[in-house]
Every structure is written in structure tokens, then in C-alpha cells.
Structure 1
Amino acid sequence: MFLQNSKNLTSMNFSGCESLASVPDLSSVPNLESLNLNGCKSLVEVHQSVGYLDKLKFLLLKRCSNLRIFPNKLKTKSLQTFSLSGCSKLEEFPDILGKMEHLENLQLQGTAIRELPTSIENLVSVKWMKLGNCKNLARLPSSIYKLPNLECLWLGGCSNLVTFPKNLEDSTDPDGHLGFPNLEILGLDGCNLSEVDFLESSSSFPKLHTLELPKNKFTHLPTSIKKYLALDWLDVGECQHLQEIPQLPSTMHVLRADGCKSLQKLPDLSSLSSDFLEVDLSSCGELFRKGVKMADVSLLEGLPKKSSLKMFLTGGEIPECFLHSKGGSMRFWVPKDLYDKFLGLALCFAPDPEVGAAFEIQLFVNGEKVTVETCVFGKPHGFEDRYHFAPLESDHVWLQYFPRGRLRRIENLLRDEWSQFQVCVRNKGGSVKKCGFRLICEKQEDDRRVVLQHHHPIETNWIPEETDPDEGHSIDTMDECSSTEADAEESRSTLTKKRRLS
């Protein structure tokens, strides 16, 4: 590399240079501000001098998949962005000499780094530290708690990180000045953590709002989790040893606990005050064998008015309090005085357990498709939740609850006197044995007073199944799952006449 007369050089860009094998001594380039080596797949070594470039602001080495030798000391006090992501053969991270007051973004995803040095505490301005899929990372120093500006710490996929350090100085810090005073996102999914006792120190995480803990091995969450007053997203999905979720802070928006096969106890969800709450308890078989039963809809009625709920339950029976239908589609009518007071829609279906398949749930009101508002991104999506089920060992039922507050356009689609609702479960490759539907209404309201298509009004103690022979077949075309506004209007007129004559 020709570096004569390079004293005033401020930028070097070798990105994508596949023939570059090493970066030589750059001490003759003292004013260098940007060094871009992204995608240099043959790069093996970076000279030690790079760690002492005082004016270097951007040091980029993404996807240098053969990089093995990197400066073991870093004293670049002007550094703002530093990326080694995708350097899959790099095993050591340099010592940080002196405080770096400008580095905000540290990207180490997919490296072979085994540990971070204690001197990581010198990254006093870092906001984003990403170490996802560092599968050799075995430990973090407790000094990581001395990063006062850290907002996002992402360690997802670090499968050898079996413990997360405790904040050893928390007991001497009643005001929470130590720890992570600005941490908002902590990602620890797939880290094989056998315990999460570091969470007992709620004062170390005063601003934490997103906690990702899926695919770990711990059995309990600390009761102090209710003291995390900024927490609104908790994901413990597929934590197959988790037995109990304690009381949560009232600020929660999302609780994901799908696939927690050992889960036996839930918190009181009715105490949560969030405008939007999404709860996913699908495939939590032990939970429902221990007392939460399909026929008990008090769980739905106790949720905040804008909460959603998903469950995948063992046993193939539709709850008795639901309207029943053979196959994957049903139509029914709801009188105005009832839907004025309903809180949300609960539906369920039983797939054929012997055949894995993908399913879509669709809802139509008076022939028009309803959209559902999600709390995660705040964007409307078609009411077409898609789920894929592998072949099952026994009968299961999918149960899902949609709060009225999430159903966009529904207020404009409802009609005077009667409105027609249609629920469809479309599938690809499998079949639906039966389905069910229920309006969840204010307490003491008869939320089953609806009319199945071609039937008389249903009494509260009698819920017939659909007798249409076509309903017993699987549904795989949109035509079978949709009704036109003209059809709905014709049937509505007939119902209105019947009501006046009765």
C-alpha cells in the first residue's frame, strides 16, 4: 500500500476489496478520520497502529470473514462508529485505553469474541451495543453496568452466555446512578440463561421498556419485575422450564409466553392498565391442565378493553359458551342492542392434528373485511392472522381474542337492527374440524344472543351446530369465505321482518 505524502489524508475506502489481505502501519496517516474495510473477505490482519489513530471517527470492518488479528489496544478518542459485525473468526476484543466520549454505536454481531474486557466501561458515550449471535461469548464483565448512556444492549443468540452479571454496586447506589440509567432495550433471547437474578435489581434498569428473554432455561422471574415501571414489552416465549410469571407492572403492552410448556401460573392480567395489551399464551399446555380451562372465559372478560389474547390449547373441544360450527366457516347475525355493548370477539378452531398446515383467520362484517390494529407498530393490517401448525400428537384448539378497540372500520360497517358477522378459517394443505365464535360483552349481558345463518334466534342454553353439509369440508378459496353486501342486505331484511312479526 503506497502511503507517502499521506499526512493530510482523511479518508480511506477499501470496501469490497477482496484482494486486500492486511492493513499496514498507518501511523504516517495521523489525520485519518474514516477507514472503511467493509466486505474485505480476504483481510486477515489490521496493524496495531490503527488502534492509536487519534482523529479516527469511523472504523468499519463489517463482513471481514477472515479477519483474525486486530489491534489489542484501542486509543482512538475521536471514534464515533465502530463495527466488526460479521468478522466470524475474530476472537479477541481490544482493551479500551482511556475514555471514549464520542463512540455511540458498537457493532460486534456474529464475531467469535469470547469475552469483553473490563475496560469496556471506558465507552462512556456508547448508546447501542450489539453482540447478537456471538456464539463464543461466555461472559460479560460487571463493569458493563458503568455505561451511563447505553440505550440498547442486544445479545440475542449468544448461546454460550449462560449467566448475565449482577450489578455488584447496586446496594450502595439507592438513587440508581449506577447500573443502566438509560437502558431501554435488553435482548437476551437464546442465551441459555439458567437464572435471571440480575433482574432483582430493578433500580439498575429504571428506563427499561423492552425485555427479550425467549429460549432460555430459567424457571422463574423475580417478583421485583413489577417494579420495572417503564416495562411495556416482555417476551419469554419458548422458555420451556419457566413455571410462573409473577405480577407485572401496569404499564405492560405485550406479554409473549408462547411455547412455555411448564408454565403453571399467570399474573392477574386485569390489573394491567395499558390501553393496548397483547398476550400470547399459545402452546402452554401445562398452564391449562393446571386450572385455566377453555370453558372459563373470565380470563377474557378480565382483560383491559383493548387487549388481545392468543392460546394454543390441548384438547379438541370448542368451549360450550361459544357458537359452534362444523368445518371452518360460520355466519351469524347480531342485534344492535347487543353489539352496542360488546367488548371484543373471541374465536377458536380445531385443526386436524394429523396434518400440518398453514391457516388464515378472516372476519367479515356485512360483507366487508375488517382490519385489526396492532399495538406493536401501530399500523392497520388485514384481519388475516396466519398460523402454521406442524402435525400434532393430539387434538388442539387455537383460541384468539380481538378487542373491539383494535377492530378498525367496524363502527362504520355495523347497521341498524341487525349486522351479519362471518368468520372463516382458510387453510393450505390441512383441514378444520370445527370452529367457534363468541362476542365478549359487558358483564351480565347475553353475548350469545345471535342468529346463525338460516337458523332461528339461539336461546342462551342451546347452541346448535351448523347443519350445512358443505361446512364439513376444508376451505381453500376466497369465494367460500366471503359474502357480498347484497347477500347481507337481503338476509338482514328477512331478519328484520321476522323480528317485527315475533
Structure 2
Amino acid sequence: MEGCIRLVNVHPSIGVLKMLKLLNLRDCKSLRNLPTRIGMESLETLILSGCSNLVRFPEIDGKIEHLKTLDLSSCYKIEYLPVNLQQIEFLEKLDLSETSITEPPSFIFHLKNLKILSFNGRKGPSYKSRPNLPSLFKVIQGRRTNPMARMLPLLSGLSSLRSLNLRDCNLCEGDIPRDFSGLSCLMILDLSGNNFISIPASLTRLSKLWFLDLSNCNMCTLGEADIHGLSSLSHLYLKDGCASLELVASPSKVCNLVDEALVYAINCFKLAENINALTLLRKHLKAFANSRKMFAILMPGSDIPEWFSHQKSDSSIKIPLPKDSQWIGVASCCIFVNNDSSRDYEIISCCACINFRNSEQASRDGSIFRGRNRRMIGGTGWQVGPIIKDHLFLHYWSRDQLYPISMEYKYGHCETNNLRATDCLDHKCDELELSFSDLDVEDNAKVKKCGVRIVYEKDLEEIKELQCHTTQFSPNFEHTHQHSIHNDGSVDNTSHIKRKANIYDEAEEEGPQPKRMQKFFNFIMGQPGKKH
């Protein structure tokens, strides 16, 4: 019955179906009433999300001890849950986002099997039309009364919790308790839309946290002291509301073997003035080289650095892959903007495939490719909301990700020993094709241009700190090291265009990069700080 907009009442007989395991009433926007009591003993999944006119949740008749998923998100009018829901001890997912529940039900803190919990405080499109509606997080008569802040200490007992959404909950400095580290299994934490100047200290004790969203938190700096202890963090979201953020902690600080790392800094313009995306990539390469399969950066930027020796005014690009054993990966970059500003979000992606040169190629699963076959390497993609100006998407593919089979197995031992002397521009080279637009997706962002560079071992030795004399919006890349043609092959004619014009005249003048930033990046990249 999902999406049945004419459904107003559910027949009482539904509530006594003893063998029913799934009831999905998502987006039944006209639904006002469920059966007064329900006794569906076998029910495992109950989805009521988007039932914006549903007034109350039914009483529980008997036991519903098999229920694992309860989704009430965007049920704006539901104000409370029945007390006997405490019997659902095996509940694994609970979503109370955008409801009118004034404070978290006490039974939640006894759900020892709960893995996903969401309290997104925003009230959706109808919130403005009901300004007197009680909120889960509110301010009364100038005195801050936040039930969630009072209940947070109790969350520390949910030792199985893996994902926690506290978005738009009006939380402030000091609301996150010190014993929050009791959430020993927590991996995903969404604190976006709250009021944090810095990362709450207790979060640094979450040893398994790999995804942290601090978007729209009005943070100004995010330095070494803020992120010390987040040893497993690999995804850091800072989009929107962080326009004044000047310093950011990169996931590149991770010391253990994390497969991927992402800096997602959409509309963080102040950050882009102080940190060059190419600098961040170079530091990542120097610290991790080929030990991490994927690294990506999304942040404001209007030009592709000349360091990317092959460039094209298109959304896709092809390059020959050298047969020598000295290259360690491929770095790619594109400039993108919104394709349709009326959309809530669009997709920016990077997909790769290889056109093989040999008559026989081993695939990832050991099958044989014959002729000039294509093998999809895979891809990554992210949703981006409305963006104000041009943005840069930088992506690094390790050689191990492109070629999961060994060089000796691929080319043969004798050939491998002589690969470096072989001309990689002949017709026997494998060809890498990169695309920044997914043909299977309608809501692609608009890609203006893209670039790519083969990264060699010698690059790691030659990597030097970029001298940022201009902002990320108008980078002067005359001093940027360019890879020699004999390593990368022929360079497209478009790759030598000098880019000095600042297309964002209203951007503030950039000051010198703080010493703290230098020390901070040395820390996150695993490099010892220089002594002065």
C-alpha cells in the first residue's frame, strides 16, 4: 500500500493478522487512522514514514517481539508512543525523525539490540504552517530546555548502536556527555544543523567512528586538537553552513588501513581560500601512496591545476596506461556546477573502465577477457545540494584498484622486466577511460572540464608544498610541478592554458597560511612537524 494517497483509514482486520511480517504504508499522506490496537505477532518491519496526517500510533495488543524496524519519520502529528513498545527488545532500527514527540521515550534506552537510531529534529514542509507545534528540541521563554540534551547520557548504554542521527536537534557546546564513548560500536554520526564551535571532546573516544557530518554547524576551525583520537575517521562532511570554516581536519590522518577517505566541503569558501585541494592530494600521496585504494575531495574551485597533464573540456577523458612498473595510481579532477538549480540535489560521480590491449586478460574474478574488452573498475558518486559557485572534485585511484591482478600474471615475468623500456604510446597499451557523469542517472551535475595524471613513484620524492599565492578560486599554477611528457605520454593541447583570472571577484583577499595549519597537516598526514 506504499504511496496510496487516497487511503484515509486502515481496516481493523489488518491489526490482527498474526502472520504478517511486513506492513509498508510509506507516503500514504492522507492516512489519518490505524487500528486502535494491533497484535501482529510476526511483524518484523513497520514503515509509516511520510504519513504526515497520521495522528496517533496504535496501542500494542499482546507481543510484537519480532519487530526489527520501526520507521515513523515525517509523521509530523504523532506526539507519543505507547509505553508497552518496550517489549520490542529485538528492535534494530528506530526512526523518529520529524515527529512531534516532545522527548525520547524512555524505553529506547533499554533496546540493547538497537543499531540505527534517528532523531532528526527538522519538521519538514508543514512545520512553518504549525508554529505552535511542540518540538523535540525547543526554546521556551528565553530559557533553553532541550529534552534530548538531558537524555543523551542514557544513550551511552546502547552498546550495539552503529548509526546515530541527531541532525537539527538544537544541540550546543556541552550537550554531548563525556561518557558518550560508551557507544563503542558507533560508526556513523550525523550532528549536522546543530551549534558546535568545535568537535565535542567525547567524540574522540569513539574508536570505530568512520563517518562524521558537521554540516551547517557554523564551525570556524577544525584543528589537530579537535580531531585527535578519531583514528578510524574516513568520511568528513562539512557542506553548507560552514562557509567561514578556515581550517579542516582531513581524513588523511587515519593511520590504520582504511580503504577510502573523503573530504566533503561543499560551499566551504573560506576553507578553499586557505587550503588547496592539490596540496591535500599530494600530502595524502606522500603519506599513503598505494596503501589506500580511494581518496576524494569535493570543495570550491574553478580551475584544474596544470599538474593534471591531460585535460579536456568535457565530462569524460581517455588516456593510455603505461606498461612500466613505476606508476602507482591515477589522479583525476573535474570542475562542476549545478545543472538545474531547482533540484534538491544532483549527482557528481567518477567511474572508470579499462580497455585491454591483450587478447587475453584476467579479470578480478579470474575469468578471461578476449580481444579489446572493457572491464568496469567501479566508481564513486555523491549527492550535492545547491552550490553557489564552481566546485572541484578530485579523485585518486590506486594502481591496485585499477589492476587487482599482479603485473607478472598480467604481462608475464619476462615482459614485466622490460616494461619500462617499452613505448606506452603504441597501440598495445591499455586505455583508461574516466567519466564524471553517470549515463544511468538523470540528475547529474554539469561537468565543465576534467583532467587526469598518471602518478609515479618519483612523484612521491618530488612532492613539495605548493606555494599558494592566490586563492583556490584563482590559483596561480605557474609554480606547480608538471610531470614530464616522457612519463605521462603526449599532453593534450588544452593542458598548458594559464589560469590566473579570478572569476570570483567578490571573494575576500586571502591572508598568509597560518603556521598552525602547516603543523596540523603534518600531523594528519603522519609527518613529523618541523622544528623551528
State the TM-score, normalized to the length of structure 2: 0.58
Counterpart in the other structure of 1:25:
none
Map 1:279-428; keep pairs closer than 5 Å: 279-283=262-266, 284-292=268-276, 294-296=278-280, 297-303=282-288, 305-319=291-305, 321-323=307-309, 325=311, 327=313, 329=317, 331=319, 334=322, 336-339=324-327, 342=328, 344-350=329-335, 361=350, 363=352, 382-383=377-378, 396-409=391-404, 411=406, 416-417=419-420, 418=422, 419=424, 422=432, 424=434
In structure 2, the CA distance between the partners of 1:60 and 1:337, relative to structure 1 (3 Å rule), is closer
Match of 2:202 in 1: 224
**Residue number in structure 2 paired with 1:140:** 104
Question: Does 2:451 align with 1:435?
Answer: yes
Partner of 1:265: 248
Residues 218 and 126 of structure 1: CA distance in aligned 2, closer, same or farther (over 3 Å) = farther
Give the structure 1 partner of residue 48 of structure 2. 85
Match for 2:253: what amino acid?
S
Matching residue's letter, 2:216: C
Distance 1:347 1:194, change over 3 A: same
Amino acid of the residue matched to residue 86 of structure 2? N
Q: Which amino acid aligns with 1:278?
A: A
Cα distance in 1 between the residues matched to 2:78 and 2:303 = 50
Q: Deviations over 1:363-399 (max 9, x none)?
A: 56675699999xxxxxx95455567989976554332
Name the counterpart of 2:87: 123
RMSD of aligned residue pairs (Cα, Å): 5.3
**Cα pair distance change 1:433/1:113, threshold 3 Å:** closer
Aligned to 1:250: 231
For 2:183 and 2:239, locate their aligned partners in 1 and report how far apart those are by CA, in whole Å.
25
Aligned to 2:143: none
- Identify if the C-alpha distance between structure 1 residues 302 and 80 changes in structure 2 by more than 3 Å, giving closer, same or farther: same
Aligned equivalent of 1:239, options 216, 221, 224: 216
Q: CA shift at 1:85, angstroms?
A: 1.1
**1:58-85 deviation per Cα after TM superposition (whole angstroms, max 9, x unaligned):** 69473565443457777x5956447361
Instruction: Give the alignment partner of residue 492 of structure 2, picking from 458, 466, 482.
Output: 466
**Could you say which residue in structure 1 is the equivalent of 2:507?**
none
Q: Percent identity?
A: 19
Structure 2 CA distance, aligned partners of 1:71 and 1:390? 39
**Structure 1 position 180, deviation (Å):** 1.0
> Which runs of 5 or more residues in structure 1 are unaligned?
1-14, 17-37, 374-379, 473-502
Question: 1:390 & 1:137 partners in 2: Cα distance?
Answer: 28
Mapped to 2, the partners of 1:354 and 1:103 lie a distance apart of: 42
- Offset of residue 143 of structure 1: 4.5
In structure 1, C-alpha distance between the alignment counterparts of 2:278 and 2:35, rounded to whole Å? 60
Q: 1:303 to 1:289 in 2, by over 3 A?
A: farther
Q: Is the alpha carbon distance of 1:110 and 1:138 closer, same or farther for their aligned partners in structure 2, counting shifts above 3 Å?
A: same
Q: CA deviation at 1:145?
A: 1.5
- Residue 8 of structure 1 corresponds to none
Q: Residues 121 and 440 of structure 1: is their aligned pair in 2 closer, same or farther, counting only changes over 3 Å? A: farther
Whether the 8 Å CA contact 2:72–2:99 is kept in 1: the answer is no
Gaps of 5+ in 2: 124-134, 138-145, 365-374, 438-443, 464-480, 499-532
Aligned counterpart, 2:441? none
**8 Å CA contact 1:41, 1:66 repeated in 2:** yes
Structure 1 residue 273, shift from structure 2 partner: 0.7
Aligned length: 411
Letter matched to residue 205 of structure 1? L
* Aligned counterparts, 1:451-462, within 5 A: 452=485, 456=486
Instruction: Return the letter of the residue paired with 2:231.
Output: S
Kindly state the Cα deviation for residue 182 of structure 1 after the two structures are TM-superposed.
Answer: 1.9
**Pairs within 5 Å for 1:16-55:** 41-44=6-9
- When residues 429 and 69 of structure 1 are mapped into structure 2, their CA distance, relative to the original with a 3 A threshold, is closer
Equivalents in 2 of 1:389, 1:61: separation in Å? 29
Please give the alpha-carbon distance, in whole angstroms, between the structure 2 residues aligned to 1:118 and 1:292.
53
Specify the structure having the higher radius of gyration (Cα): 1
1:338-359 per-residue CA deviation (whole Å, 9 max, x = no partner) reads 22xx2x3222234589999987
Residue matched to 1:152: 116
Residue identity matched to 1:279? L
Deviations 1:211-262 (A, max 9, x none): 3445666554322223222333x14174363443623543345444455544
Higher relative contact order (CA 8 A, sep 6+): 2
Instruction: After superposition, give the CA deviation of every residue in 1:258-317 in whole Å (9 maximum; x if it has no partner).
Output: 555444321563333134123132424332323455345213433482252222343434
Partner of 1:274: 257
Q: Are 1:106 and 2:70 an aligned pair?
A: yes
The answer to whether the 8 Å contact 1:223/1:247 transfers is no
- The CA distance in 2 between the partners of 1:354 and 1:431, in whole Å, is 8
Equivalents in 1 of 2:393, 2:84: separation in Å? Answer: 47
Checking the alignment, whether the CA contact within 8 Å between 1:208 and 1:230 is kept in structure 2 is yes
* Conservation of the 8 A alpha-carbon contact between 2:336 and 2:445: no
The one-letter amino acid of 2:213's match is V
Q: Is the 8 A contact 2:318 2:434 kept in 1?
A: yes
Supply the distance in 2 between the matched residues of 1:352 and 1:148 (Cα, whole angstroms): 45
8 A contact 2:110–2:158 mirrored in 1: yes
The Cα shift of 1:147 comes to 1.9
Which 10-residue stretch deviates more, 276-285 or 295-304?
A: 295-304
- The SS at the match of 2:148 is coil
Q: Is the 8 A contact 1:335 1:450 kept in 2?
A: no
How many Å apart are 1:437 and its aligned residue? 2.0
Report deviation, 1:89: 1.8
Relative to structure 1, the CA distance from residue 237 to residue 225 in structure 2 (aligned partners, 3 Å threshold; closer, same or farther) is closer
Give me the whole-angstrom Cα distance separating, in 2, the residues matched to 1:319 and 1:66: 53
